[in-house]
Chains A and B, each alone.
Chain A
Amino acid sequence: MNNYIGIGFRKEFSDEFLSSGKLKPGFIEVAPENWMGIGGYWKKIFKQVTEKYLVLAHGLSLSIGSPEDLDWTFLKQVKDFIKEYDIQIYSEHLSYSKCDNAHLYDLLPVPFTEDAIKHISNRIKHVQDFLEMKIAIENVSYYTPVAAEMTELEFINEIVSEADCNLLLDVNNVYVNAFNHKYNAIEFIHGLPLEKVSYIHMAGHEQVEPDLIIDTHGANVIELVYDLFDYTTRFVRPVPVLLERDFNIPDLEVLQDEINKLNRIISINWDLQNESTKKHIPAAV
């Protein structure tokens, strides 16, 4: 068993996770916002988990696509968190969750426009300079384009190139968007800057209308998304892969089965014993 496959750590399964040994991820991913500035019971649990597992961070509130200024106070907290837990990958969403000085606590789609590219790329650069590390930006699922002047693919490529950041490739989101907006997922994957992929996400989703899927993270990964992952990993260097499960959390053995399945796929597609392969992933992984 390799350690490339991680799990999104949830409070909902923390007790069983720590006590049962049913779930054996290679690393865990957390949202810094849920674990910064806390104490008591959850601080204690988090300490136990971080003593046992490598931690990667996936943010929720940076709102890199916001029209307004970056929140430097918040970023300082993130920087301290990254330092405290020796976090080697910090990723965020290519979206916005704050506008007109109000947080919305969910991810809204950014208009695919030239000015948005410049605006967001600059913000990513500022964040990277401040954090003194490259960040990975995730392709998000979206249910409607907003005043789009170009394709999603052009938008992502331009931003990753201009900002010189890494890409968090969410394979499920590619599947969801391809379904929702009727494009070819394989062609989309090949159109991405795959050499910039530093992290992969996998998740389940829910089809709510005949032509609409919502990215819920509340179900098992479906076979078609596993297939897309299998295909994608043939063209991406070995990087950490995360299984996200935020709602309807099943028995931990079910999550371990999903981790095992992802492991089997990458074991075939990636030469994991090769030393040059190992240098592409965080040291502790």
Chain B
Amino acid sequence: MNLQKNTYRQQSDLANYCRTNILSGSLKVRKDRVHHYRRLVFNVVDDSLRSAYPLLNNLLPPKQWDLLVKEFFANHACQSTKIWQMPEEFYQYVISKESALKKKYPLMEDLMKFEWTEVELFMMENEAYPSFKTKGDWLNDVMIINPEYKILSFAYPVHIKNAKYITASDKGNYFLLGFREKETGKVQFMDISAIYTVIIENIAKEIKLIDIINALEGQLNFDSMDSMVQQIVPFLKKLKEKGFILGFKVE
């Protein structure tokens, strides 16, 4: 490095001021103007986080939101070169820290996971789509699913209820399927049960439905194999209509 210590120190002090709002006495700048840098830098970060987490922003009182963003930006060294990815670091920062805010809002992590997943699914790079045929046997053919998806689990129903009205009595096990429509690029979410989570995960491994059901029989409260099929196949047909199940494997 060709930089002398003093030049580096000046740069570091200015950057640190923008992150923390703490002005070093040795920073040689115009004191009447340097605050604009703190304002401009912080606004960029704050705007980006508000845009990624509108529900969290709506849930928290403005002062608490502001404190949280300021704490994050001051204490966390952002690594993303792409600003749209930076909000994931905010989420990771929040889940890595114990805080009074999380105790006050126990659903906070679920809410952030939900919001970030939507951004991530919408923005992520295209996955290769496998070839498939549109018609097949639901039980005995391997199903091909949309490769751009995520299954999330929550302790609170942040995906179906306004976070402001979620209480401790809502606590439970919730599952959510999120996927990106190939044609429009829109992100769709579907509330699903635990059993369908297992079924989808097995379909993704290219296991035939008949084999999945056989493996699950006995663990579930169905009268017979037929009743399981009658329950599950219509759900899978719905997933196909929505564009999550693409079709059937070309053998």
Interface residues of A (CB under 8 A from B): 33-34, 36-44, 60-61, 65-68, 71, 74, 77, 96, 99-106, 108-111, 113, 115-116, 118-119, 122, 143-147, 208, 212, 214
Contacts and interface: CB of A to CB of B under 8 A. Distances in A.
A106 B127 CA distance: 32
Given A43-B126, A108-B18, A34 B82 contact: yes
Contact of A40 (B3, B79, B86, B180): B180
B2 A146 contact: no
Contact of A37 (B2, B78, B82): B82
Contacts of B79: 101-103
B11 A38 contact: no
Interface string B1-15: 111101110111011
Nearest to A74: B81
B41 A61 contact: no
B92 to A, nearest CB: 15
30 contacts: A38-B123, A38-B124, A39-B126, A39-B127, A40-B126, A40-B148, A40-B180, A41-B184, A44-B185, A67-B11, A71-B81, A99-B15, A99-B16, A100-B77, A101-B79, A102-B78, A103-B79, A103-B80, A105-B86, A106-B18, A108-B14, A108-B15, A108-B18, A110-B11, A115-B4, A116-B7, A119-B3, A144-B29, A146-B27, A147-B7
Interface of B: 1-4, 6-8, 10-12, 14-16, 18-19, 27-30, 33-34, 36-37, 40-41, 44-45, 48, 76-84, 86, 121-127, 148, 180, 184-186
B44 A105 contact: yes
Nearest to B82: A33
A100 B12 contact: yes
A67 B29 contact: no
A262 B185 CA distance: 37
A121 B124 CA distance: 35
Which 5 residue pairs spanning A and B have beta carbons closest together?
A: A41-B185, A102-B77, A99-B15, A39-B126, A40-B185
Given A66-B11, A146-B14, A146-B27, 16 more contacts: A39-B123, A39-B148, A40-B121, A67-B7, A99-B12, A102-B77, A106-B40, A108-B18, A108-B41, A110-B11, A111-B11, A119-B2, A119-B3, A147-B6, A212-B36, A214-B40
B246 to A, nearest CB: 16
Nearest to B185: A41
Nearest to A119: B2
A214 to B, nearest CB: 7
B65 to A, nearest CB: 18
B36 A143 contact: yes
B125 A39 contact: yes
Nearest to B89: A103
A94 to B, nearest CB: 13
Given A40-B185, A115-B4, A144 B33 contact: yes
B37 A108 contact: yes
Given A36-B82, A105-B48, A146 B10 contact: yes
Given A40-B185, A96-B11, A100-B15, A119 B1 contact: yes
Contacts of A115: 2-4, 7
A71 B186 CA distance: 33
Contacts of B77: 100-103
A34 B83 CA distance: 8
Contacts of B186: 41
